[in-house]
Amino acid sequence: MTADHYDALVVGAGPAGSIAALVLARAGARVALVDKARFPRDKACGDLVGPRGVQTLTDLGIEVAGPRVGDMEVVGPSGRQVLLRAFPGLTYPGHALVVPRVEFDDQLRQAAITAGAAQVAGRASSPLFGESGELRGFSVDAEDTSGAGKDRPLRLTADVVVGADGATSRVAAAAGLVNERQVLWGFAVRSYGVVDPPPPLPRIYFWEPQRWSGYPGYGWVFPGSGGTFNAGVGVGARGDRRVGMRASKDLPAFLASAGIDPGRAGRPLGGWLKMGMTGTIPAGGRTLLVGDAAGLVNSLQGEGISQALGSGRCAAEAILSAGPGGAARVYKADLARLYAPYACATAPITAWMLRHHRAVSGLGRVLTNPAAAAILAGGWSVYWNDLLDGASPGRARRTAAVAARAAGLLTARASDRRCVLESLESSAAGGQLCPEPGDGGLDDTVVTPSQEGVRQTGGDPHR
């Protein structure tokens, strides 16, 4: 078995892992970037890179081609529509980008390799531990590129391991950084297709299979290039991964309700989300988790790419500034500043919504009522998309600030808030991660999903 040691081992070459590897390699670190897939490869996603993600790409000098989208429409349970304006902030632009993941991920991975990261095509199989019990690397069944037709077993170790391997992260499990019973799980499934005329704006649907049923998620139809669309549905649950079967089953009905012939949509592709920073310690010892592996998906609207890009960059900068021994502390401090204030309030709200379907249905009707929308839409757009920090002064920011204060007061005693804060204070892996969610959920049983007719991916399945 070939053995190699690196400054950093990054497991997963999605947006989070590729950005981490890119920043490290540009600084001269010796980095291995491991992924089991052959690139280019697809991922279940809405394909929208949000404003903060666009800004991260700009900061790093990465040019990504794709249509710009700004405003978004929300369709309520009763069919009423609300326009959520895209406001440019002081620290981010007023637009998102539409880039298919099959192109986006490959471009970021190539940028990391060009910067000097060593690409390793293979599955990280068996974890390797140091004398102190800390995760130090993986045995990798590497793809043979010599033409001999056999995999090359590799033993890859590093001063620090970055887990960028998605919601069902092998790195998180090996390092003892996750409690699956506490995780807010999501599953999203989408299809591509062509429709005439193409959707003019990204559109979110507070869809209900039956009136007042309060679906535990939502549907979307996003525009692509050349008259194409990306349409899908996402659902959430506490600890019960059978939700994947529900999303897959409901997709055709949602497409029909949105005016899309299911027969004109391509083969569906599904993937898991880990949301709201609950049930996961984002760093412990010399292991750092980024993107979906750290549970950084926005639990209210499913955005994950911006957080993946931002956390990948933060992890790399923490390693460079504090070294392998201090990186976890610096990285968790960055997450506490950038993502925890929002997750502390929205994770408990999401958990509550998953248990109160009729209340959610009523809330969707109130928010899309024209009178309420005239007052709330601007602030809703800013707060829902986690854009309050750095928002430009004005009515939308003031409304979003009121919403943030109200959410903080309502969730002050919630167990999920405590769980997020404890995960950022924990100094080592293997501790209790809020084992019993005090505000409940649909089901605490963890079930291995079984999807029929739907291919699955492990990355961040929405924006």
Q: CA–CA distance from 422 to each of 60, 211, 279, 386, 434 (Å)?
A: 32, 39, 10, 22, 8
Q: 10-residue block means of pLDDT along the chain (463 residues)? A: 89 98 98 96 94 98 93 96 97 96 97 98 95 95 60 90 97 95 93 85 94 92 87 89 86 94 92 95 97 97 97 98 97 97 97 93 96 96 98 98 97 95 72 48 32 45 35
Identity of residue 175: A
What local confidence, expressed as pLDDT, does residue 451 receive?
36
Q: Are 99 and 49 in contact (CB under 8 A)?
A: yes
Pick from 117, 7, 23: nearest CA to 312: 23
Q: Model-level pTM?
A: 0.92
Q: Can you tell me the distance from the alpha carbon of 169 to that of 430, in angstroms, rounded to the nearest whole number?
A: 15
Q: Sheet containing 217-223: which strands, arranged edge to edge?
A: 81-84, 72-75, 203-205, 217-223, 228-238, 184-194, 269-275, 455-457
**E strand or H helix at 311, and its extent?**
helix 305-338
Burial zone of 370 (CB within 10 Å; 0-12 exposed, 13-18 middle, 19+ buried): exposed
**Angle between helix 305-338 and 15-26 (nearest 10):** 70
Give DSSP secondary structure letters for 156-221: EEEEEEEE-S-TT-HHHHHTT-B-TTT-EEEEEEEEEEE-SSPPSS-EEE---SSTT---SEEEEE
Whole-number pLDDT of residue 242:
77
21 Cβ neighbours under 8 A, 6+ residues apart: 8, 10, 13, 31, 33, 112, 115, 117, 162, 316
Alpha-carbon gap, residue 2 to 27, rounded angstroms = 26
Cα 330 from Cα 315, distance rounded (Å): 9
Whether the CB-CB separation of 460 and 294 falls below 8 Å is answered with: no
Give the pLDDT score at 197.
Answer: 80
CA separation for the pair 462, 445 (Å, rounded): 24
Edge-to-edge strand order for the sheet containing 68-69? 48-49, 96-98, 68-69
For residue 461, the model assigns a pLDDT of 35
From 11, 8, 4, select the one nearest 318 (Cα to Cα).
Answer: 8
**One-letter amino acid identity for 127?**
P
Q: How far apart are the C-alpha atoms of 137 and 157, rounded to whole Å?
A: 4
* CA torsion angle 248 250 254 256 (round to 10): 100
Q: Which residue has the tokens 């900061």?
A: 59
Instruction: Enumerate residues 6+ apart whose C-beta is below 8 A from 371.
Output: none
Q: What is the pLDDT of residue 144?
A: 60
Task: Return the residue matching tokens 């920073």.
Answer: 277
Among 238, 198, 203, smallest CA distance to 219 is for 203
Side chain identity at residue 291, one-letter code: G
